[in-house]
């Protein structure tokens, strides 16, 4: 984690534009930033869906090329979607939470002014989160590729029986697993789906992944923490309507013999937090660990 001394000049605003009544909140943040001397643009889909026309609308690529900070107003799903788009541009992200949990959109909406003012002036704490990249192979050819901040999930169809997968790490066989599915999670994703099916929480600074079976047929198939080097191969041995999900992007109807390959991405996501931000305090609040000092 680092504290950086420089301020920002051009902010992009990204919103959970499906949320009813979000436009006033987005415009409030935009005008707040303008009053502090920043040029402000809106992400293209956010502007179109909310009807905001007072600010320039930019594509994610244009945001990466022209902006030096992005302010995301919404929940963790909104952040996940734009983080994958902007990671290749190394654009830092600030999250203002209008969702429910908000592990990575950590500034409450009612506190955004006092939190944003020092951040845009250059007084903040920064952390970087690792990402996964992966692809699906069939008959020797790649048929799908994706990028994930949270996880890659291979799972059975809604009405089908369980799936059987073969797991290899690099060239070493690990196990055949019969279950409802299998999760490969980053430390960021360890507080998402992986946590709900019994996986451990990994601190974001740990260079590792969590491999978590979903409702395994064999109780001895337990979550395992792997180093985040090399490549995890998940081969489809049996199952119908099997899918692979890369955060919010899904490839349905995997076939027996298909293989999902997952590895560490060269890109990282940059998050900016108010000074004094604590990962452990976030866990206490979001998971309601109220015992002890809060």
Single out the residue of 67, 65, 95, 91 nearest to residue 80, CA to CA.
Answer: 95
Active site residues: 76
Tokens of 254: 């995997």
Helix (H) or strand (E) holding 49: helix 44-50
How far is it, in rounded angstroms, from Cα 133 to Cα 261?
8
Helices 23-35, 112-120: axis angle to 10 degrees equals 40
Which residue is associated with the tokens 């799903």?
77
For the beta carbon of residue 59, count every other beta carbon within 10 angstroms: 12
Would you tell me how many other CB atoms lie within 10 Å of the CB of residue 172?
9
Which residue reads 């030096």 in tokens?
68
Q: What is the Cα–Cα distance from 263 to 214, expressed in whole angstroms? A: 20
H or E element, residue 176: strand 172-179
């Amino acid at each position: 984690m680092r504290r950086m001394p420089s301020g920002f000049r051009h902010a992009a605003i990204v919103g959970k534009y499906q949320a009813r009544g979000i436009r006033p909140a987005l415009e409030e943040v935009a005008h707040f930033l303008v009053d502090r001397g920043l040029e402000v643009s809106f992400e293209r889909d956010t502007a179109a869906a909310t009807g905001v026309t007072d600010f320039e609308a930019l594509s994610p690529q244009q945001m990466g090329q022209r902006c030096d900070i992005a302010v995301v107003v919404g929940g963790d799903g909104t952040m996940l979607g734009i983080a994958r788009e902007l990671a290749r541009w190394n654009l830092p992200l600030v999250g203002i939470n209008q969702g429910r949990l908000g592990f990575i959109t950590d500034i409450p909406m009612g506190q955004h002014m006092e939190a944003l003012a020092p951040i845009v002036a250059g007084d903040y704490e920064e952390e970087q989160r690792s990402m996964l990249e992966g692809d699906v192979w069939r008959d020797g050819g790649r048929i799908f590729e994706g990028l994930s901040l949270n996880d890659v999930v291979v799972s059975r169809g809604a009405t089908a029986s369980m799936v059987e997968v073969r797991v290899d790490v690099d060239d070493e066989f690990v196990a055949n697993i019969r279950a409802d599915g299998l999760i490969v999670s980053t430390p960021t994703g360890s507080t998402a789906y992986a946590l709900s099916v019994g996986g451990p929480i990994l601190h974001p600074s740990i260079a590792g992944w969590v491999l978590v079976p979903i409702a395994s047929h064999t109780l001895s198939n337990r979550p395992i923490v792997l180093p985040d080097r090399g490549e995890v191969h998940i081969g489809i041995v049996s199952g119908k309507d099997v899918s692979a999900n890369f955060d919010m992007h899904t490839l349905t109807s995997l076939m027996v013999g298909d293989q999902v390959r997952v590895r560490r991405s060269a890109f990282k996501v940059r998050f900016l937090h108010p000074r004094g931000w604590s990962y452990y305090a976030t866990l206490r609040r979001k998971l309601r660990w109220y015992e002890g000092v809060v």
